[in-house]
């Protein structure tokens, strides 16, 4: 009996039984990897198939034939073509396993439960404070070191901050779900999702910078003529100081508003890549559309978490050992409530 499994959002197969077993042993096929073989009604996570097999005392129970749409899509993944593509396979798997498809996630509403998020975070923190503090401190320290290396900090940050931050997200998300999580999860961003995490961190930052450039150009258009006039001995007009101050404040506020807005709507891009295996562009789109439903409530949650970071910093940085994992845990709890049942795409 041949198997098919999902990898990087595409079906792979046919795979003979012996090779399929080898892929399981090597970790290529995990519990949440979507799999299908003849006799299955639809694609399912391997853990569900394994549980069904154990319950039956034999292989996956078979039903004659295979679902027409998924089977056609598998053919596409093996070199054929299919109009539906892998999305239809993915959506069928989502429905059969209790996950939501992307369309279903985007269609539903949700609540930003700030008190519940902080309550869940505190509950998990007090259960195992050592691991939460240790992993947060280690990843945070590495991000800081990479960022401040003279001359190379900017370049190194591009290639290391995204995967490190993605691993930290993954650690807290797994804890929120009640799954085992350790320091290895903190470095989980340096696997198959590495490239997407690099882009998920770099591209939103680049786009934010490009969006504030027009305001910086306006500021330059105001300031530069005055500076040239002063250098040429023409002096500064009497109302110049007021104009410069007002213009500077307006430009600064505009940059802050645009920067904060983009930061909020794309904030969950990294965890969507780290946890769900999405490509960075898809993750940015889903994060934006979901957050925009409750932008102000999400912003308030993020402000409270930022204040916790600030509070920890004021206590000689030592307070960060508590406030940082507490704040990140609250954000992870919110992520899990909003995005947790989105069907994963394997990489």
* pLDDT digit string, tens, across residues 162-191: 999 999 999 999 999 888 899 999 999 998
Sheet holding 3-7, edge to edge: 10-15, 3-7, 34-37, 44-45
- 79 in Cβ contact with 64 (< 8 Å): no
Which of helix, strand or coil describes residue 238? coil
Q: Answer yes or no: are the C-beta atoms of 13 and 33 closer than 8 Å.
A: no
Q: What is the pLDDT of residues 101-157, one digit of tens each?
A: 899 899 999 999 999 999 999 999 999 999 999 999 999 999 999 999 988 999 999
Which segments of 66-159 are extended strands (E)? none
Q: How far apart are CA 58 and CA 40, in angstroms?
A: 14
Please check whether residue 321 is in contact with residue 312, taking contact to mean a CB–CB distance below 8 angstroms: yes
pLDDT at 95 over 90: no
Provide the phi-psi class of 5: left if phi over 0, else alpha when psi is between -120 and 50, else beta.
beta
DSSP H or E stretch at residue 210: helix 194-231
Q: Is the pTM of this model over 0.85?
A: no
Q: Which residues contact 203 (CB under 8 A, 6 or more apart)?
A: 280, 281, 284
Q: What backbone torsions phi and psi does residue 97 show, to the nearest 5 degrees?
A: -105, 0
Greater pLDDT, 97 or 251? 251
pLDDT of residue 307: 94
Which long-range CB contacts under 8 A does 214-218 form with residues at least 24 apart? 215/251, 215/254, 215/255, 215/258, 216/251, 216/255, 218/247, 218/251
Phi, psi of 100 (to 5 degrees): -105, 145
Query: What is residue 77's predicted lDDT score, i.e. its pLDDT?
Result: 37
Angstrom distance (rounded) from CA 187 to CA 135: 10
17-26, 51-60, 64-73, 129-138 — which one is most confidently predicted on average? 129-138
d(CA 283, CA 274): 10
Q: Which of the residue ranges 49-58, 124-133, 241-250, 284-293 would you say has the lowest mean pLDDT? A: 49-58
Give whole-number Cα distances, 223 to 172, 229, 238, 241, in Å: 46, 10, 15, 10
**Residue 10 phi, psi dihedral angles, 5° rounding:** -135, 145
Cα separation, 340 vs 334, whole angstroms? 9
Q: How many residues can be counted in the chain? A: 347
Residue 81: pLDDT band (50, 70, 90) is very low
C-alpha torsion 274→276→281→287, nearest 10: -100
- How far is Cα 195 from Cα 193, in angstroms, rounded to an integer? 6
């Amino acid at each position: 009996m041949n198997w098919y499994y999902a990898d990087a959002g595409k079906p792979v197969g046919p795979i003979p039984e012996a090779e399929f077993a080898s892929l399981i042993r090597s970790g290529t096929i995990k519990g949440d990897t979507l799999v299908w073989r003849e006799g299955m009604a639809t694609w399912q996570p391997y853990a569900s198939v394994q549980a069904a097999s154990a319950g039956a005392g034999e292989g996956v129970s078979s039903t004659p034939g295979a679902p027409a749409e998924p089977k056609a899509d598998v053919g596409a993944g093996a070199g054929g073509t299919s109009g539906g593509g892998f999305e239809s396979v993915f959506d069928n798997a989502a429905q059969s396993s209790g996950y939501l498809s992307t369309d279903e996630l985007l269609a539903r509403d949700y609540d930003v439960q700030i008190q519940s998020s902080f309550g869940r975070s505190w509950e998990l923190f007090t259960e195992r404070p050592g691991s939460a503090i240790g992993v947060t401190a280690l990843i945070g320290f590495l991000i800081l070191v990479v960022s401040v290396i003279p001359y190379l900090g900017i370049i190194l940050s591009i290639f290391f901050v995204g995967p490190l931050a993605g691993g930290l997200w993954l650690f807290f998300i797994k804890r929120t779900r009640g799954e085992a999580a350790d320091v290895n999860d903190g470095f989980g961003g340096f696997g198959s999702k590495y490239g997407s995490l690099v882009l998920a961190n770099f591209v939103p930052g680049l786009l934010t910078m490009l969006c504030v450039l027009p305001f910086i150009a306006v500021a330059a258009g105001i300031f530069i003529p005055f500076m040239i006039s002063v250098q040429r001995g023409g002096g500064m007009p009497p109302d110049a100081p007021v104009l410069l101050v007002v213009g500077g404040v307006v430009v600064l506020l505009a940059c802050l508003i645009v920067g904060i807005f983009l930061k909020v709507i794309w904030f969950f891009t990294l965890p969507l890549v780290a946890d769900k295996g999405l490509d960075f562009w898809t993750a940015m789109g889903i994060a934006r559309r979901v957050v925009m439903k409750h932008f102000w409530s999400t912003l308030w949650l993020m402000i409270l978490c930022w204040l916790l970071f600030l509070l920890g910093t004021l206590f000689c940085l030592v307070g960060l050992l508590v406030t940082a994992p507490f704040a990140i845990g609250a954000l992870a709890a919110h992520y899990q409530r909003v995005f947790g049942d989105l069907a994963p795409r394997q990489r």
